[in-house]
Amino acid sequence: MKAFLIDRYGKSHGRIGEVPVPQLGINDVLVEVHASSVNLLDSKIRKGEFKLILPYSFPLIMGNDMAGVVVRVGSGVHNFKAGDEVYARPPQSRIGAFAELIAVDESALTLKPKNISMEQAAALPLVALTAWQVLVETARLKKGQKVFIHAGSGGVGTIAIQLAKHLGAFVATTTSTSNVGWVKALGADVVIDYKQQNFESVLRDYDVVLNSLGPVELEKSLSILKPGGQLISISGPPTPEFAQEQKLFWGLGWVMRLLSSGIRRKARKQDVRYAFVFMRASGAQLKKITALVESGVITPVIDRTFPFESTAEALSYVERGRAKGKVVIKLI
C-alpha cells in the first residue's frame, strides 16, 4: 500500500512510498482511509520534538487523524464490522493515518457522524478530543463560567469555541483582523484582534484559559484569571504529573518538573491551577462528540483540502500557521 512516511527526523523530510499492509491484532480494526487531516503535532513529530517521550521507529508512517471504511476486524472485535464508516485519532504509539490502510485498536474508533462527509469527519478527532479533554475532563467547565481560548481560528480553537458555548460558558478568544467576524460567527462572545489589542489589557476575572501558544502568552494568561482559576496548556511546558501518566523514566520526569517549575510557581502565587494536557485517543469520548455533530452543536471547519500526492505541501501549509480550521488530505 502507499503511505506518507519519514526515514529520519527533520523539517523537510517525508516521502510517499510502498509499505506492507498493517498487521491486524486481536482487538484491531483494519480501515481503508478515505481522508486524513494535518495537525501541528504532525510537524512536531516529523522534526523530532517528541522523540524523548514518543520513541518511534523508522520508517514512520505519519498522520494522527482518519476517517474511512472498515475492511476487516480482529477476532476480539465485536463493535465494528466490514463496511462500517468510522473515524478516529489513532493511539499515539500507533499513528499512521497518511496511508491507504491503517490498523486501529477498536477502543480508539467510533462510527462516523452520519450528517458529514469523510473529509469533515477526518478534520475532527484530534482537535475535538483535545477540546473535550481540556474543557470537559480537566476544567469541568460549567454554565456561566468565563473561558478564554487562544487562537480562535485554529483547528483546536474553532471546535473549543463551539463546545464551550454548548456547555453554557461565556467565551473570549483572539484572532487576526481578517478573521474577527468569522470567529464571532462560531459563537465567541468577545473576539480580540491581537494585531490591535493585547488580550491581557482587556480581559479580567476568567475561570479558565486554554493556551495553545508559546510561553509569553502562557504567562500573560495568568493575569486574566480569577483566584481559583485554571490555566490549561496544550503546548507546554509539560508537568511531573504528565511524566507519571506517560510512565516516563525518572530523568524525564525531573526535566519536566524543571521545565514547568516557573509557571507552576507563578500560578500558585496567584491561586491558579496550572495543568498540561496531551491529548489521548478515546473512541468513547469521540462517540459523545459524534452526538454533538449530528445534533448540529459542533460543525467541522475546513480551510483547504489536498490530494494525497500533495501531503508534503499540506504539511508545509499548516506549518505557516495561517489555516482557518483544519487542512484535510483526501485519499479516496
Q: Which three cell numbers stand for residue 250?
A: 525518572
Residue 13 has a pLDDT of: 85
DSSP string, 117-183: -HHHHHTSHHHHHHHHIIIIIIS---TT-EEEES-TTSHHHHHHHHHHHHTT-EEEEEE-GGGHHHH
Q: Which three cell numbers stand for residue 241?
A: 504529573
Residue 247 has a pLDDT of: 84
Low-confidence ranges of the chain (pLDDT < 70): none
Nearest in space to 69 (alpha carbons), one of 41, 98, 31: 31
Q: Domain 126-276 is classified in which CATH homologous superfamily? A: NAD(P)-binding Rossmann-like Domain (3.40.50.720)
Q: Is 304 exposed, middle or buried (0-12, 13-18, 19+ CB in 10 A)?
A: middle
Q: Domain 2-123+301-330 is classified in which CATH homologous superfamily? A: Medium-chain alcohol dehydrogenases, catalytic domain (3.90.180.10)
Residue 165 has a pLDDT of: 98
Residue 138: other Cβ atoms inside 10 A? 17
Cα gap 71→103, rounded to integer Å: 10
**Are the C-beta atoms of 17 and 55 separated by less than 8 Å?**
no
Tell me whether strands 170-175 and 190-193 are parallel, antiparallel or unpaired: parallel
Rounded alpha-carbon distances, angstroms, from residue 312 to 12, 38, 58, 329? 9, 10, 18, 10
Residue 92 has a pLDDT of: 95
Residue 53 has a pLDDT of: 84
Residue 238 has a pLDDT of: 94
Rounded alpha-carbon distances, angstroms, from residue 193 to 7, 176, 224? 41, 5, 17
Q: In what order do the strands lie in the sheet with 146-149?
A: 190-193, 170-175, 146-149, 206-211, 225-233, 273-276
Paired strand residues for 60:
6
Rounded alpha-carbon distances, angstroms, from residue 20 to 7, 24, 33, 75? 15, 12, 15, 21
Encode burial over 238-271: b for 16+ CB neighbours within 10 A, e otherwise: bbbebbeebebeeebbebbbebbeebbeebeeee
Task: Show contacts of 200-204: CB within 8 Å, 24+ apart.
Answer: 200/224, 203/148, 203/172
Which residue carries 474511512 as its cell? 68
Residue 249 has a pLDDT of: 82
* Domain ranges for the chain: 2-123+301-330, 126-276
